[in-house]
Amino acid sequence: MDFKKIALNLHKNNIVVDTHLDLAGEIYNRHLAGEKEVIKNRYLDNFKKGGFNIVVSSLYIDDIFLPEMGLRMALGQISALMEDIESCHGEVVLIKTKEQLQRVAKENKIGIILSFEGLDPIGNDINLLKVFYELGVRAAGLTWSRRNYAADGCSFNPVEEGQKGGLTRFGVEVVKKLEEMNMLIDVSHLNDEGFWDVVKFTKKPFIASHSDVRNIHARMRNLTDEQIKVIAERNGVIGINAYKNIAGVKDGEDPVKKLADHVEYMANLVGPSHVGYGFDLCNSYYDSELKFKFEPNNSDSIASHAEAVLITEELLRRGMPEEDVKLIIGGNFYRIFSDVLQ
């Protein structure tokens, strides 16, 4: 059986979604350096080759800009993203409404959804959520891997720290406000204490946009079986993370098979209706920051969105039914966005 051909056809003829890419931040940095048309020149071709219809762009703020510049940087990223989308002449759109989401799927365009990666830009002012909503932000990761006014993030590696906390009083107000505003709550990067507070203080489905299985790779950034089950019980979805150090890809190990391990584990645990792709591809972003000079594909398990079909191919090779694969490559997250967007 030609699994590669089947995978390519599935990506071509079905909704494909990536729920985490630091796109707005990269565009902002490249614009400051004088580079324009970043999506068109660096991403569009690979989005098309991978069959992607929807990509969630984070608003991620580096530590060096916090706390004073968080709001300014987030606004700058949104502005740069909007300018870059305009240069794509209708091939790429910013999705704010359910109607736009459906049109992207119908017309086979590429839609960008904005999401906070940490609520640092709003500080302790809950009223700023309304401002960002008007600008197009439709989802909110409560934290990055650090503490903010809403909650504590989880560290990537064990660190010396004091007492950890869950959601603060402000954080509880925020999650309730997010549900009221129909902004999707994202628990990736949140620590365990905060995760269970989200479960306690919310009622609607929530997601983990880019997290893997802790039982496969014992890292706090990943989810326990109990957390995976609760997300599924809420009818939420988990996007697998392709960052090698989060997926637990060892030297000499096939990264595609490792990612398929995470997908397969979750699908076996809670069913295929609660798993998706949230790759967190970082090589291009780090290059734009000039902070690290990674060799191609050093941090990422796949080189680009065009290679997402390799994971799909591996799932098919393992015997996963095509109908289940359709859900995983995008159907599940499309359902979530359809429910949340107005």
Task: Write the CATH number for 54.
Answer: 3.20.20.140
Pairing of strands 137-141, 54-59: unpaired
If pLDDT is split at 50, 70 and 90, which confidence band does 289 have? Answer: low
By three-state DSSP, how is residue 144 classified? coil
Provide the pLDDT for residue 293: 47
More confident residue, 196 or 160: 196
Tokens 């989810």 belong to 223
- Domain total for the chain? 1
- pTM (2 decimals)? 0.95
Q: Rounded distance, CA 18 to CA 86, Å? A: 21
142 in Cβ contact with 188 (< 8 Å): no
Q: Which domain holds residue 149?
A: 3-340
Which CA distances in Å does 335 have to 42, 254, 286? 28, 31, 31
Pairing of strands 110-117, 54-59: parallel
Task: State whether the Cα torsion 7-22-139-161 is positive or negative.
Answer: positive
Q: What are phi and psi of 138, to 5 degrees?
A: -125, 0
Tokens 């995983």 belong to 328
119 in Cβ contact with 139 (< 8 Å): no
Q: Rounded distance, CA 265 to CA 114, Å? A: 29
Model confidence over 186-236: pLDDT tens digits? Answer: 999 999 999 999 999 999 999 999 999 999 999 999 999 999 999 999 999
pLDDT surpassing 80 at residue 139:
yes
Choose among 165, 59, 158: nearest CA to 115: 59
Q: What are phi and psi of 341, to 5 degrees?
A: -70, 145
Amino acid, single-letter form, for residue 293: K
pLDDT surpassing 70 at residue 65:
yes
Tokens 């990612």 belong to 259
Measured CA angle at 282 (ends 22, 246), to 5 deg? 110
Amino acid, single-letter form, for residue 304: S
Q: Rounded distance, CA 225 to CA 265, Å? A: 10
Quick one: average pLDDT of 55-61? 98
pLDDT surpassing 60 at residue 294:
no
Provide the pLDDT for residue 298: 73
